[in-house]
Amino acid sequence: MCGRFGATFQYRDIKVLWNLRGDLPEFGPRYNIAPSQDVPVIVRSEDRNELKSMRWGLVPSRTQDPSIGQRMINARSETLLEKPSFKQLVARQRCLVPADGFYEWRREGKGKVPMWIHLKKREPFAFAGLWNYWRDPAGDKELYSFTIITTEANALIATDPQPNAGDLR
């Protein structure tokens, strides 16, 4: 499960990588992105890729209380089509979440130590995600939100990482 990640690059530097068109909002490097924070994600709009700021933690459009997003930061790929909150989004409301690493925690004694998992060359990659639009019943507030699609950990991540085990490629 992804509970924290980083995007330590300049977003203008990824414009070519993901064929982002138009002016890019100013997003600076971020080293510890947490749930409930606003994050730039890539969506497909009018036959082009663009960055859109969204809150991490999916808020279903039918809900009354947007705080439910705190519990919907990840969606398991194995059950996407079974969960009503995700099922309808799979076909039309997919997104990419640019990152260059994420944190997993290793138990050490009674505590946990964060392990930074990244590609060997430390280049940007993207998490698959789903997004949604929510508007409060009174119509006063609106919110774009997303969830990151996850899957079962592979052997490298599931076991206690060794030094440099975060180098995935």
- Report the half-sphere exposure of 102 (CA within 13 A, side-chain side): 17
Q: Which residues contact 56 (CB under 8 A, 6 or more apart)?
A: 33, 34, 35, 36, 37, 38, 39, 69, 73, 145, 146, 147, 148
Outline where 27-154 has alpha helix (H).
Answer: 84-87, 89-92
pLDDT tens for residues 3-18? Answer: 999 999 988 888 889 9
Q: Report pLDDT for 142.
A: 92
Q: 63 or 145: whose pLDDT is higher?
A: 145
pLDDT tens for residues 72-131? Answer: 999 999 999 998 889 999 999 999 999 999 998 888 899 988 999 999 999 999 999 999
Q: Report pLDDT for 1.
A: 65
Q: Report pLDDT for 124.
A: 95
Cα–Cα distance, 42 to 98 (Å, whole number): 8
Q: Supply the mean pLDDT for the chain.
A: 87
Q: Please give the positions annotated as active site.
A: 2, 104
pLDDT bracket for residue 162 (50, 70, 90):
very low
Query: How large a percentage of the chain has pLDDT more than 90?
Result: 53
What single-letter DSSP state applies at residue 162?
P
148 forms beta bridges with: 74, 129
Q: Report pLDDT for 168.
A: 46
- pTM (predicted TM-score): 0.86
144, two tokens: 């774009």
- Region 66-74: mean pLDDT is 87
Q: Which domains does the chain have, with CATH numbers?
A: 5-158 (3.90.1680.10)
Per-residue pLDDT at 160 exceeds 60: no
